[in-house]
Amino acid sequence: MDGAREHAMADELAKEFKEHSVAEFFKKNKQMLGLVGKIRTLTTIIHEYVTNSLDACEEAKILPDIEITLDELGTEYYELTVKDNGPGLTEKTVGKAFGQLLAGTKFHRMMQSRGQQGIGAAGCTMYSQMTTGKPVRVITGSGKGKPFSVEVSIDPKANQPKLTNFVELNKDFKGVAVKAKFKGVKYVNSEQAPLEYLRRTAIANPHLRIKFRSPTKETTIFERTNKTIPSKPIEMRPHPKGATVDEILTLSKSTDARKINSFLKNEFDRMGDKAISGISKKVSFDLNKDPKKLTWEESEEIIKAFKTIAFIAPRTDGLKPIGEERISKSLKSIVEPEFLSVITRKPSVYSGGFPFLVEVAIAYGGKAGRGMGVKDDEGVEQRKIEIMRFANRVPLLFDGGGCAITKAVQSIDWKRYGVRDMERAPITIFVNLISVYVPYTSAGKQAVSEEPEIVEDIRLALMDSGRRTGRYIVGKRRLQEKKMKKETFLKYIPEIAMALKKLTKENEDMLKEKLEKLVIAKLKLEEKEEEDIPEDIEEAIKITTIDARGNK
């Protein structure tokens, strides 16, 4: 009797089991796409569209022009239009690009890229569909044949695009224009809002021109500061030190190689004959075996062998930084600092097999930092520190507290570099992490994992840039102190001259002139002594402790 009851229950449970598509999964777990919070969701949507446009233009060697228009239709209800001048899409690819999750071109490649999951634009289509019940309209033209307009939606059960209202257009158009409506989102002008995202995108992509019209009808344009399209990153093979058992098994099933030794040579970086010979001595099976017949246990043996072999460090020529000159021009154009120090570190490796490099800039004064909305006695707005985090040129606006970049910035003792109050300093810190595999903390891709090698490299770059910035701050502080001393001395000269006249019976104007010359001569002598600011910034800071009265 009990057996019959258990069998019946098993049959009932079996009826409840259902297969779910990728689209259905992300529909129920939209927070994994970064679609959480009204402000964050809107910024994420714009990020996905802009990233797609940027990638498409760069692939086609076109200097990108992107126009974003955001119109408010009602309470937390907006229509977004994003238009680019890229290569456009075909009838076959438009559905995959905007209506099929995980249909991108980046996921399978070990290559420096802005995104990897392939869920961006399709995720936006799904969100529009979920909140408004409306499809996304796409207008596109490739320069071959007539441009066309089509409405795209997603069949979530099948994760397949649905194309409706296809219309050929009798006009010239090349690129992609997408128009979508979203509810449950909110536009504000804050550090995590669309305008700030676009500002930072323009800084990290100096070859880009962005035009943005906000819901308040204000238009902001970020002009390009460089007309050279960045060179395309090189696809790289995985390094043995970063490989996993599962990765070996997965690669072995799709390789064209007929032997394990040739499979390892073809699929992994820095795998030479010497390494193959070393591996063959440490495994219990013949490397002439068909790789498609590899077992889990045999793959484990290969990984163990990898750990005992001294492989050459991974190649790094596939990493393409922005470049110091480009970062400098971009920050000078948008941030307009008094002083700027830019550092690009040499490539390094984390977790034994993933190459990366770090670019850091510190901008001081001018429009650096974030305005606090409070003005000082002279009517100048007070500013506070601004940390700009990037990964492969993409701004990271959210989840800053758990990010390796933030941790590295916070670990520095900024007083050593002349910054007395870091929280209220007019400073913008720019950090860009470049890698073929950025270790994000989540699928939202807004924070970098605290890999020790990455944190240390960022720290070293910040300290190097900080020393240069500190020398400027110390020099500026000395000039300010010297000016205050001069004003103080000149203020008392009339009284001193009057007193000396009574004592010496000399001409008062002549005494004033001589005293002024003495003050200027003294200050010039100090200036000569202080021409060389010590390399040791801490020592320089100790020297600059003279107050307005000239006391130490």
From 285, 319, 322, 318, select the one nearest 302 (Cα to Cα).
285
Residue 6 lies in a domain: no
pLDDT the model gives residue 8: 57
79 φ, ψ to 5°? -115, 125
Write the DSSP symbol of residue 440.
B
Q: Are residues 351 and 461 in the same domain?
A: yes
- Local confidence band at 223 (pLDDT 50, 70, 90 cut-offs): very high
Instruction: Give the residue-averaged pLDDT of 251-260.
Output: 90
Q: Are residues 146 and 265 in the same domain?
A: no
Please check the confidence at residue 381 and state whether its pLDDT lies above 90: no
Tokens 């977004």, located at residue = 80
Q: Are residues 136 and 94 in the same domain?
A: yes
CATH number reported for the structural domain that contains residue 84 in this entry: 3.30.565.10
pLDDT the model gives residue 317: 79
Write down the mean pLDDT value for the chain: 83
Both ends of the chain: CA-CA distance in Å? Answer: 96
Q: Are residues 408 and 290 in the same domain?
A: no
Q: Are residues 480 and 534 in the same domain?
A: yes
According to DSSP H, which parts of 91-179 are helical? 91-99, 120-132
Residue 168, beta-bridge partner list: 148
CATH number reported for the structural domain that contains residue 345 in this entry: 3.30.230.10
- Local confidence band at 158 (pLDDT 50, 70, 90 cut-offs): confident
Residue 282: domain span: 240-308
Extended strands (E) in 214-308: 219-222
Q: Are residues 112 and 187 in the same domain?
A: yes
Lowest mean pLDDT among 60-74, 196-210, 375-389, 409-423: 375-389
Residue 11 lies in a domain: no
Residue 314 lies in a domain: no
pLDDT the model gives residue 377: 62
Lowest mean pLDDT among 62-76, 104-118, 210-224, 443-457: 104-118
Query: 337-359, pLDDT tens digit by residue?
Result: 999 999 999 988 888 778 899 99
Total Cβ atoms within 10 A of residue 511: 19
Residue 424 lies in a domain: yes
Where among 160, 187, 222 does a domain terminate? Answer: 222
Q: 34-41: long-range contacts at Cβ-Cβ below 8 A with a sequence spacing of 24 or more?
A: 34/398, 34/443, 34/444, 34/445, 34/446, 35/123, 35/127, 38/76, 38/184, 38/185, 38/186, 39/185, 39/186, 39/187, 39/188, 39/190, 39/192, 39/193, 40/192, 40/398, 41/127, 41/182, 41/184, 41/185
423 φ, ψ to 5°? -70, -25
Residue 316 lies in a domain: no
Please check the confidence at residue 543 and state whether its pLDDT lies above 50: no
Where among 421, 438, 468 does a domain terminate? Answer: 468
Where among 192, 222, 252 does a domain terminate? Answer: 222
pLDDT the model gives residue 12: 58
Q: Are residues 440 and 486 in the same domain?
A: no
Residue 506 lies in a domain: yes
Residue 17 lies in a domain: no
Q: Are residues 434 and 510 in the same domain?
A: no
Q: Are residues 421 and 526 in the same domain?
A: no
Q: Are residues 357 and 248 in the same domain?
A: no
Contact 374, 381 (CB under 8 A): yes
Please check the confidence at residue 35 and state whether its pLDDT lies above 80: no
Total Cβ atoms within 10 A of residue 229: 15
CATH number reported for the structural domain that contains residue 287 in this entry: 1.10.8.50
Q: Are residues 334 and 368 in the same domain?
A: yes
Q: Are residues 489 and 438 in the same domain?
A: no
DSSP one-letter string for 324-352: HHHHHHHHHHHT--SEEEEEEPPPEEETT
CB within 8 Å of 319: residues ≥ 6 apart = 112, 233, 347, 355, 356, 357, 434, 435, 436
Task: Give the count of domains, the chain.
Answer: 4
d(CA 384, CA 401): 17
Contact 426, 368 (CB under 8 A): yes
Residue 114 lies in a domain: yes
